[in-house]
Structure 1
Amino acid sequence: MSRRTGRPSHLSTPSARPGRPSARVLAAGAAVAVVLALLGGLVGYAVGRPGATEAGIAELRAADAERDAQQIVELTDMARRTGAELGPILAAVTDESEAGRVPEAARVDEWQQAMKRLTAQFADPPSGMTATNVARGGLRGAVEQAAVAVDTIALAGNLPADRRPEQVALAARQAALAATTWSVAATQLDQLNIDAGNGHQHVHLDGGHDDGGLPPDGEAEGSGG
């Protein structure tokens, strides 16, 4: 029996070897990667970029903040001027009450004219941020209450002598309420100035009477900004 022999090695088919990718394939892959990266960046930019509405809202908020900062400065200046006139009037009303007398008509008339002028400053307030509007409203309320106190003591001169002390005492109570209301608004305005970077700005009244209001904090003017 003849022995089988295998196929000669030179006749056998060589096994397929994995070849290296061609330059064309590599270039195509790189191009795809670049396109995908660009698309990803564009999508990310489109997603992260604020829309027209958000940008508009941001601009409005920035404008409101700038406007409010200016209003705080203007309101503080007006409060200083107003307080310089208001404080002595309220103190005088209290002094007359403690002395049990009615001030002269000419003096009361001067007070009434001053109160009309001070009240007129708040007749057409600008629109601002809520906190600024509250401070302005508090100052206005204090001035209007002070005007009522002056009118009350003015009426005392037309009453019988035995009723005048009661009327003057009522005017003093109204003056104390005005001073207290002013102190609250002044404290708020002080905080607004600190938040706005202006530091402490004290516009509290200095009437020399303990009316139960909020005193200034004692910090140096302009500090804490």
Structure 2
Amino acid sequence: MSPKTGRPSYLLDPPARKASARTRLVAGIAAAALATGLLGGLIGYSVGRPSETEASIARLQKADAERDAQQIIELTDLAHRTGDELSPILTAIRQASEAGRPPEPAQVGQWQQTMRQLTERFADPPSGTTATNVARGGLRSAVEQAAIAVDTLALAAAADAADERLALAARQAAVAVTTWSVAATQLDQINIDAGQGHRHVHLDTGGADGALTPDGAAEGHGG
């Protein structure tokens, strides 16, 4: 009986060949993992990256926000300057009505000239957001109503029926003050929303017109 023998040596894999096969296998697995990772990263980047349309919309929104913030600052400054000139005129109209005696025609003529200048400031307004446009439109309407009140006062100063015209002028002035107060409250709010804090541009007419008044918050705080 012949002795048992192992596998013939010529059928055995050389050690180097086995190591080479294992190396190729490991390298293949690593390459596949790397490719999978890169593909996943590319897919994630592609999914997370905003489209050109979204990027354009974001740029437009940012530009609109910056433009509106600048318009709010400019409108607030305009309201302060206009209010400082408008308040004494509306106060004088109310006082003339209470006294039953119109001011001198020369004084009323000066007020008419001032009102024409104030009205011109609000001509050809820029386009802004709805909130800013509402505030601007309210201020402009108040100035135009005040101009009508001054024109009515001029008629009262030159006519016999002064009492009736004085009363009418006072009513128009009161509407102008109320309209301004609504716009001023709106302007205060959009300043807060824009991070500027409270900005009070309410008219100082003695508080006898039933208009909205400032909220008492400190100027520039609360934004």
Q: If the length of structure 1 is used for normalisation, what is the TM-score?
A: 0.88
Question: Alignment identity in percent?
Answer: 65
Matches within 5 A, 1:2-21: 10=4
Spell out, residue by residue over 1:177-205, the C-alpha distance to the aligned partner (whole angstroms, 9 max, x if none).
00001011111111122222222111111
- 1:173 paired residue number: 171
Identify the match of residue 219 of structure 1 among 202, 217, 220: 217
Question: How far is the alpha carbon of 1:50 from its aligned partner?
Answer: 0.8
Structure 1 CA distance for aligned equivalents of residues 171 and 3 of structure 2? 124
Structure 2 CA distance for aligned equivalents of residues 119 and 54 of structure 1? 41
The answer as to whether partners of 1:91 and 1:209 remain within 8 angstroms in 2 is: no
Structure 2 CA distance for aligned equivalents of residues 9 and 79 of structure 1? 116
Structure 2 CA distance for aligned equivalents of residues 104 and 9 of structure 1? 143
Question: How far is the alpha carbon of 1:88 from its aligned partner?
Answer: 0.6
Question: How far is the alpha carbon of 1:210 from its aligned partner?
Answer: 1.6
Gaps of 5+ in 1: 1-7, 14-18
Structure 2 CA distance for aligned equivalents of residues 98 and 41 of structure 1? 79
Matches within 5 A, 1:67-216: 67-160=67-160, 163-216=161-214
Cα RMSD over matched residues? 2.1
Judged with a 3 Å threshold, the aligned counterparts in structure 2 of structure 1 residues 9 and 25 are, in CA distance, closer, same or farther, namely farther
Question: How far is the alpha carbon of 1:27 from its aligned partner?
Answer: 1.4
Structure 2 CA distance for aligned equivalents of residues 137 and 76 of structure 1? 13
The answer as to whether partners of 1:93 and 1:175 remain within 8 angstroms in 2 is: yes
Counterpart of 1:106, as a letter, is A
Question: How far is the alpha carbon of 1:26 from its aligned partner?
Answer: 2.0
Gaps of 5+ in 2: 8-17
Counterpart of 1:65, as a letter, is A
The answer as to whether partners of 1:146 and 1:175 remain within 8 angstroms in 2 is: yes
Q: If the length of structure 2 is used for normalisation, what is the TM-score?
A: 0.88
**Which stretch of the first structure deviates more once superposed, 110-119 or 31-40?**
31-40
Spell out, residue by residue over 1:97-132, the C-alpha distance to the aligned partner (whole angstroms, 9 max, x if none).
111122211011011000000000010111111111
SS at structure 1 position matched to 2:128: coil
Question: How far is the alpha carbon of 1:11 from its aligned partner?
Answer: 8.0
Aligned length, in residue pairs: 212
Deviant stretches of 4+, over 6 Å: none
The answer as to whether partners of 1:180 and 1:211 remain within 8 angstroms in 2 is: yes
Question: How far is the alpha carbon of 1:141 from its aligned partner?
Answer: 0.6
Counterpart of 1:51, as a letter, is S
The answer as to whether partners of 2:115 and 2:147 remain within 8 angstroms in 1 is: yes
Spell out, residue by residue over 1:130-184, the C-alpha distance to the aligned partner (whole angstroms, 9 max, x if none).
1111111110010001001111111123432xx2211110110010000001011
Question: How far is the alpha carbon of 1:9 from its aligned partner?
Answer: 10
Structure 1 CA distance for aligned equivalents of residues 140 and 4 of structure 2? 112
Spell out, residue by residue over 1:56-77, the C-alpha distance to the aligned partner (whole angstroms, 9 max, x if none).
1111111111111111111111
Judged with a 3 Å threshold, the aligned counterparts in structure 2 of structure 1 residues 150 and 23 are, in CA distance, closer, same or farther, namely same
The structure in which a higher percent of residues are helix is 2
Q: State yes or no: 1:25 paired with 2:25.
A: yes
